Amino acid sequence: MRRLVSGNEACAEAALRAGIRFFGGYPITPSTEIAELMAEELPRVGGVFMQMEDEIASIMAIVGASAAGVPSMTATSGPGFSLMQEGIGYAAMTEIPVVVVDVMRGGPATGLPTKGSQGDLQQARWGTHGDHPVVVFAPRGVEETFALTLRAVDVSERLRVPVILLTDEFIGHMREIVSFPSRVEVYHRQRPRVASSEYVHYAEENNYNAPYASYGGGYAIHLTGLTHRADGFPINDAPTIRWNNERLRAKIEDNLAYLEDNYIDDDPDADTLIVAVGSSARSAYEAKLLTDKPLAYIRLLTLWPFPDATIHRLARGRKRVVVPEMNDGQLCREVQRCLSGDTELVSVTRNDGSMLTPQEVLEVL
C-alpha cells in the first residue's frame, strides 16, 4: 500500500509491525513524533508506551522489558543519546536486544534542535566506555527508515545486541511515499529448548538465532553488567574475560556477511569512488548523476560494523575517494583507514544545519 509518511512515522510503523511491544522514551526534537505515535498505537496492539523520567530511565526500562521477553525500543536525539550511552553498554554486555533510534540533530550540547546533522556517526560506535559490539544502520530516506527499522529489530533479536538506527532531522521530518508491504515476516526469539538445569545463558555457540531465556520463563537467569562467566555470574579471571570478549566480538564478526549492507554502483572506468551514508548520500548520488564522469559509488546502509574490506576493494587503484557528509568528517576517518597506496581522500562536509547540496559534492568531482 502506498502512503505518504514521514521518516519518524515510518519508523514507528515499522517498529509496531516488527513486533516492538514496549517503548520507553523521553521527548526530544526531532525524534518526538516516534514516541507520540507509539503512545497512540501501542495500547491498540496490547503493548506498552512509557514516558520515563529521562533518557537514562528510558534505555534502562527498555532493557528491563526486553530482558522480560518483550521486544523493546526507544528513540531520541543527540543529548538523549549521550545520556543513554552507559545503558547501551549494559545492553551490549548483558546481550539484551534493544533498538535505539537516534534522530540526529546539530550538536554538541543543545546545539541545533530543529536542524539535522550527521554528527553522531562515531558516537554510535564509541559513545560508551569499554570495547563492545554494536550494530548501526543508517537509512537515506523514509522508505529505508521503514526497512531498516524492521531490520534493526530483527538483528537485535537474533544476535542479542543493541542495534542503533541513525536517522536525522531531515529524514525524520521529511515525507515520502512508502509502499508498505502487506505482510512483514517477524523473527520471534526462541525460548531455550532445554531444562533449566541444562541451560547456559551465554553459551559459546549463542551466536545467531540461538534460543535464550527471558525473565519469567522459569530459567532463574542472572544478568549482570560485571564481566561474567557463561552462566552469567561475575568473574574476574583473565581467561574467562578473554573468552567472553571473544564471543561478543565473534557475534558481530562471524555474522559480517549477514550484517553488511551496501548499495554499490560501481564503474570500472571510474577513477573516483564516492562513499556516502544516510541523508547526505542523496546529494552525493544526485551529484554523481549530474556529471558525465564515470564514478564509482557506495552507500553504507550498515554503518557499523564498518565494511572495511568492501571499501578497500572498491577503492583499490582509484585515484580519489570522495566522502560527503554532514559533520566534520567522521565517515571520512573510517574510509581513510581502508585506503592503501596513494589514493587521494577528499572530505566534503557541511555542518551548519542545512543539507549538503549536490552542487557542493559536484564541485569536487
Partner 1 sequence: MASAKASGKKHSFTPMVHTYLRMDNRFPHVWCPGCGIGILFAALIHALHELNIPKDKILLASGIGCTSRMPGYLDTDTFHVLHGRALAAATGVKLARPDMEVIVVGGDGDMLAIGGNHFIHAARRNIGITCIVLNNYNYAMTGGQQSPTTPRDMFATTAPYGTIDDPADACSLAEASGAAFVARTTTYNFVQLKRFVKTALSRKGFRLIEVVAQCPTIFGRLNRMPATKDLITWIKGHTVTLEAAKKMDADELRDKIVTGVFVDREVEEYSDRYARLIKKVRNAH
Partner 2 sequence: MRTEIRLSGRGGQGLILAGIVLAEACGVYEDKQVVQTQSYGPEARGGASRAEVIISDGQIRYPQAYDPDILVALSQPAFDRFAPKIKKSGLIFADSFYVHTDRKDVVLMPFSETARNEIGREVVTNVVMLGALSAVTDIVKLESLKKALKHRVRSAFLDLNLRAVDAGYKLGKEIWKKRSS
Partner 3 sequence: MKLKRKAFPVTTIEEPKGFIHIYPDLCKGCELCVVLCPKDILALGDDLKVHVVNPTDCIACYLCEWHCPDFAIFIEKKEQKES
Ligand X SMILES: Cc1ncc(C[n+]2csc(CCOP(=O)(O)OP(=O)(O)O)c2C)c(N)n1
Residues that bind partner 3 (CB under 8 A): 196-197, 199-201, 213, 219-222, 231-233
Choose one: 26-34, 44-52, 204-212, 266-274; the region binding ligand X (CB under 6 A): 26-34
180 closest CA partner among 61, 333, 4: 4
Q: Could you give the CA distance from residue 50 to residue 38 in angstroms, rounded to a whole number? A: 9
Instruction: Spell 207-235 as b/e; 16+ CB within 10 A means b.
Output: beeeebbbbeeebebebeeebbbbebeeb
Choose one: 17-25, 122-130, 208-216, 287-295; the region binding its own copies (CB under 8 A): 122-130
- Residue 141 binds which entry of partner 2, partner 3, ligand X, none, CB below 5-8 Å type-dependent: partner 2
Judged by CB, which is closer to partner 3: 230, or 362? 230
- List of residues 6+ apart from 87 with CB closer than 8 A: 56, 59, 60, 63
One-letter identity of residue 54: D
Q: What is the CB neighbour count within 10 angstroms for residue 144? A: 23
Judged by CB, which is closer to ligand X: 27, or 64? 27
Q: What's the gap between Cα 204 and its chain centre? A: 25
Judged by CB, which is closer to ligand X: 110, or 179? 110
One-letter identity of residue 269: D
Q: What is the CB neighbour count within 10 angstroms for residue 335? A: 25
Judged by CB, which is closer to ligand X: 33, or 55? 55
326 closest CA partner among 349, 307, 310: 349
Site residues for partner 1, 219-258, by CB under 8 A, read 219-226, 233-234
213 closest CA partner among 225, 226, 203: 203
The answer to whether 80 contacts ligand X (rule: CB under 6 A) is yes
- Residue 293 binds which entry of partner 3, ligand X, its own copies, none, CB below 5-8 Å type-dependent: none
The answer to whether 53 contacts partner 1 (rule: CB under 8 A) is yes
3-state secondary structure of 164: strand
* Number of residues forming the site for ligand X (CB under 6 A): 8
Judged by CB, which is closer to ligand X: 32, or 349? 32
Site residues for partner 1, 182-221, by CB under 8 A, read 215-221
Half-sphere exposure in the Cβ direction for 153 (13 Å, CA): 31
The answer to whether 28 contacts ligand X (rule: CB under 6 A) is yes
Give the burial class of 177: count Cβ atoms within 10 A of its Cβ; 0-12 exposed, 13-18 middle, 19 or more buried. Answer: exposed
3-state secondary structure of 79: helix
Judged by CB, which is closer to partner 3: 183, or 193? 193
| Footprint of its own copies (CB under 8 A) | 56, 77-79, 81-83, 85-86, 89-90, 92-94, 104, 106-115, 117, 119-120, 122-123, 125-132, 224-227, 236, 238-239, 241-242, 245, 249, 327-328, 330, 333, 336-337, 340-342, 351-354
Contact footprint for ligand X (CB under 6 A): 26-28, 55, 79-80, 83, 110
